[in-house]
Chains A and B, each alone.
Chain A
Amino acid sequence: MSLAQLRDVSLVNFLKIREQQSRLLAVGLTAAIVGYIGWKIVQSPDQALQFAFNGLAVGAVYALLAMGFTLVYSTVWFFDLYYGAAAAIGAYGVFYLRSHDVLGGQYAVNSGPVNVLFAAVTAGVAAWALHVLLYRRLHTRVQPRTLLIAGGLLATAFGIYTGLVLANPANLHVLLSPLVAFFVAGVAIWALNRAHLRFALLTNRGPFAAMVAVAIALGVLVAIFVASTPSLGLYLSWFVACLLSGTVSLALYRGLYVTMRERANSPLIMLVASLGILLAITAFITIVFRAAPRPLPDTFGSEPWTIGGANIKGFNVFAIGLALAGFAVLLFMVKKTAFGKAVRAIGDDEEVAKVVGINTTVVIAVVFFIGAIYAALAGLVSGHDTAIQPRMGLLLLLKGWIASVVGGIGSLYGAIVGGFALGMLEQFGIWDLAGEWRDVISFIVLIVFLSFWPQGLLPRK
């Protein structure tokens, strides 16, 4: 359903003749909700503060989900239900890597086939990424066979590395330190180079070697620090879980969606196919981890602080910060970079984007990767906050979907506003009910929004 169609089906258009009453109803409804919340705040300010904070904390998860979801949806215009599985993979990835640490290792899981599977997926994705990045630049200079063998070996190395990491979660900090070093050095070189070009206004390559040396030294230093600090394992596992979720998303996109979109670009076909993927991955997670809920290990800030009569957990503050930071990064990426321009061009018209020379396959692949990372972040934050269970993926997906509808489908500002708004409405809604009704409240919010404000709070322009 496109945006134009959505406007068509709004209650206001639907009952053109009763426009006045419909507006009145919408205004009355809003007033009633605001009045209810206001009354609650007056009645017991302390509790209201608690609920508002809880709303923000839950809203942070929804906002993260909605942002990634919106990014993907406004590029390819179909609802990718794999997105829910990406959140579950993020949460279960953390559990998988830290299971020896949770409840004294009671539910420790580490299965060879799973490691091999992920190693294979990583190798495949790495092979494709290498092909995309290097083939065009090198194939004129190097023999194709050499290129094939070298690329294959490199991709296999990536796969084996992933397998190793997954098989030895207790030594995550050691195994991951080279990757961290590489990452830090890369970022340092990029930053130094930018600073060098901008401030020194020099174009000669003289100081470049020095810069590289400094960056590598920095990388090695950080790596040594990481390798000698086992307590970093949890945060490294976040990193790995996000990467894994993104990798699976990439594999699915390249392996399946590209072919599928060429065959029949019908949103419903894509939706049903991704539903199948969600079903399969959910069942796979259940087989590996069982259906019962599992806790994730304690993080920093698990102890609540008391501020003005409300109990506030440091981790929740961190989650809210994470959502805001994620928003800032995404906004920068979409509004300021060439990549963002390409994404918007594809979202407006994929065929035209292809014609003007954008490599749509690669850009969309990156969009899927980023989207899955946001989903995984949301999944693991919500997992640390409550607990994880295999069907969390579907529920989180629905919440992200609702938040993006509430905020305005396809709008980035709408996603973050919608996420926090949904979280707040949900929390204030369950004040007088039991907590188990929160899903019901979200869906009632959804249906009310679709009926009265189908374009959402901040519509995409």
Chain B
Amino acid sequence: MSIATGALRNIQDVARDPRSWWQRSKGNIELWANLIVIGWALAFMLWRGGGFAITVGSVFAIWAILAVSLNLVVGYTGLLSVGHIGFFGIGAYAMAVLSSNASYEQLRTEAIPTFGWPFFAALPFSVILAGLVALVVGVAFNRFRDDIYVLVSFGFAVIAFTTFLSWRNLTRGAFGIHEIARPAIGSWVFEEELEFLALLLVFLGLVVLIAWLIVTSSFGRVLTAIREDEQAIAVFGYHTTHYKLAIWVISAMMAGLAGALLASWSTFIDPNSFVLLESVLLVSIVILGGLASIWGSLLGALAFVMLEEGMRFVPFLPSEFIGQIRQVILGILLVLLMLFRPQGLVGRFKL
């Protein structure tokens, strides 16, 4: 509320005296971060055209859902979870097993159970499964904090990945699952990439709305208090463990949703999408964008996607190293952020 009126006041001032704008915004890192990332994205999309924009938009939407969901846990509640990719994977595999094409799967030597459900029937199941797993994991993890939390959440990511890779009767291990259903409403199938992008953006909007409602509610305020001093807020009558468990499950369900969408979008998944390093990258997106800021997570995801796509067009850069170079850049960015701006680009919370 106060930020919105502040921005309004700024705009009024600038309208009165345009030259004051430069003076005002010279040291405003948040403003420049926004301008640069969004400007870069827009310029790129205009340059590369529609097809590019659709792909980038889809990848962005999935990462953004993940980042927003993780920010609820890391930024607002202060639990540095590095295992979020596990819930992403659970959502994806639930979707894959429930909705992959039964006839195609049976052709394979290593047959797995298939159900051939439509997308919209499998989606709630994927989300709920991720939530249920989170409930169990959350009960076990609830009493850990700080660096021990990092360690056990690493553990969750490793356990999830090993399960995807080694429970071959269900996931077909490294071969992955093919022919995952595209969403369909009646006879209208979302085959076109543009249609799917629209669906993804609708879900992203939904997740952002829910996240915004959560963080502006009384619940969200208690979460920030838990982050600051868990013992102190407990004395005022809050069952902090219940709060942490609730946000953990909600966040995991959002990640599960992102996973289900990914499975359906790419129609093929294998365990390589859910390795530990992806999880670490996700954490760096959240920190880069800004802790305790939903807009920051969107910005971080956009910057991350643009970093990769942007590097495709850098001359003299071998294409097989793009992922690695992006990782190097992110690593160095993390160090620089921790040195100079521990709250991330537009964050509200310093680690």
Contact = CB atoms under 8 A, between A and B. Distances in A.
Interface string A1-34: 1000110010100100000000000000000000
Interface string B310-346: 0000000000010111111011111100110010000
Contacts of B80: 268, 271-272
A439 B280 contact: no
Interface string A210-250: 00000000000000000000000000000000000000000
A260 to B, nearest CB: 6
A271 B159 contact: no
Nearest to B137: A447
Contacts of A165: none
A279 B147 contact: no
B148 A450 contact: yes
Interface string A240-284: 000000000000000010011001101111111101111111111
Contacts of B275: 391
A451 B155 CA distance: 14
B324 A14 contact: no
B316 to A, nearest CB: 14
Contacts of B342: 264, 269
A78 interface: yes
Contacts of B325: 283, 287
B166 A1 contact: no
B152 A447 contact: yes
B165 interface: yes
Give the interface centre of B154, B155, B326 by most chain A CB atoms within 10 Å.
B155
Interface stretch (B138-146, B200-208, B216-224): B138-146
B324 A398 contact: no
A440 interface: yes
A442 to B, nearest CB: 8
Contacts of B283: 272, 275
Nearest to B147: A79
Contacts of B321: 287
A319 interface: no
Given A1-B147, A401-B151, A269 B277 contact: no
Nearest to A273: B338
B148 A260 contact: no
B38 interface: no
Contacts of B333: 276
Contacts of B165: 436
A425 interface: no
Contacts of A11: 143
A79 B150 contact: yes
A444 B162 CA distance: 13
B307 interface: no
A434 B148 CA distance: 28
B162 A284 contact: no
Contact of B334 (A5, A78, A273, A287): A273
Contacts of B276: 391, 394
Nearest to A259: B339
Nearest to A401: B151
Nearest to A285: B324
B284 interface: yes
Given A268-B146, A275-B334, A450-B144, A260 B339 contact: yes
A431 interface: no
Contact of A398 (B144, B151, B284, B287): B151
A interface bracket (residues with beta carbon within 8 Å of B)? 35 or more
A208 interface: no
Nearest to A268: B351
B306 to A, nearest CB: 18
A78 B148 CA distance: 11
Given A267-B146, A268-B146, A394-B276, A280 B331 contact: yes
A407 to B, nearest CB: 14
A432 to B, nearest CB: 14
A277 B331 contact: yes
A405 interface: yes
A394 B155 CA distance: 12
Contacts of A264: 342
B162 A436 contact: yes
Contacts of B146: 1, 267-268
A14 B332 contact: no
B151 A402 contact: yes
Contacts of B163: 440
Nearest to B158: A439
Contacts of A444: 159
Contacts of B158: 395, 398, 439-440, 443
Contacts of A260: 338-339
Given A259-B339, A391-B276, A401-B151, A9 B331 contact: no
A179 B151 CA distance: 40
A443 B338 CA distance: 28
A17 to B, nearest CB: 15
A436 B280 contact: no
A451 B198 CA distance: 45
A165 to B, nearest CB: 25
A447 B141 CA distance: 8
B152 A1 contact: no
A287 B146 CA distance: 32
A9 B159 contact: no
Contact of A269 (B323, B331, B338): B338
B334 A268 contact: no
Interface string B122-151: 000000000000000000100111111011
B272 to A, nearest CB: 10
Given A279-B281, A443-B152, A443-B159, 13 more contacts: A5-B145, A78-B147, A260-B339, A273-B339, A275-B284, A276-B330, A279-B280, A279-B327, A283-B328, A286-B324, A398-B155, A443-B158, A451-B140
3 shortest interchain CB distances as A-B pairs: A276-B334, A280-B331, A443-B155
23 contacts: A1-B148, A6-B148, A11-B143, A79-B151, A264-B342, A267-B146, A268-B351, A270-B338, A271-B147, A271-B150, A272-B287, A272-B351, A273-B334, A275-B280, A276-B332, A276-B338, A283-B325, A284-B324, A398-B155, A437-B162, A439-B162, A443-B152, A447-B152
